[in-house]
Amino acid sequence: MARIDESRPFLPVKIAVLTVSDTRTLEDDKSGTTLTERLLAAGHILAERTIVTDDAKKIRDRVLLWSKDPQIDVIITTGGTGFTGRDVTPEALEAIFEKRMDGFSEVFHRISYDKIGTSTIQSRATGGVINATFIFVLPGSPGACRDAWDNILQYQLDYRHMPCNFVEIMPRLDEHLTRSGKG
Our count of domains for the chain comes to 1
Domain of 126, CATH number, reads 3.40.980.10
Does residue 35 lie in a domain region?
Answer: yes
Does residue 156 lie in a domain region?
Answer: yes
Residues in a beta bridge with 129? 99, 134
Does residue 66 lie in a domain region?
Answer: yes
Does residue 77 lie in a domain region?
Answer: yes
Domain of 86 in residue numbering reads as 7-172
Q: Would you state the pLDDT for residue 177? A: 62
One digit per residue, pLDDT tens: the chain, 183 residues? Answer: 679 999 999 999 999 999 999 999 999 999 999 999 999 999 999 999 999 999 999 999 999 999 999 999 999 999 999 999 999 999 999 999 999 999 999 999 999 999 999 999 999 999 999 999 999 999 999 999 999 999 999 999 999 999 999 999 999 998 776 544 544
Does residue 34 lie in a domain region?
Answer: yes
Does residue 61 lie in a domain region?
Answer: yes
Sorted by sequence, the CB contacts under 8 Å of residue 85 that are 6+ apart come out as none
3-state helix, strand, coil in the chain (%, to 5): 40, 20, 40
Does residue 2 lie in a domain region?
Answer: no
Give dist(CA 81, CA 147) in Å, integer.
Answer: 15
3-state secondary structure of 14: strand
Does residue 18 lie in a domain region?
Answer: yes
Q: Would you state the pLDDT for residue 168? A: 95
List the alpha helices (DSSP H) in 6-78: 30-41, 56-67
Q: Which of 25, 18, 22 is nearest to 46 (CA)?
A: 18
Give dist(CA 80, CA 67) in Å, integer.
Answer: 19
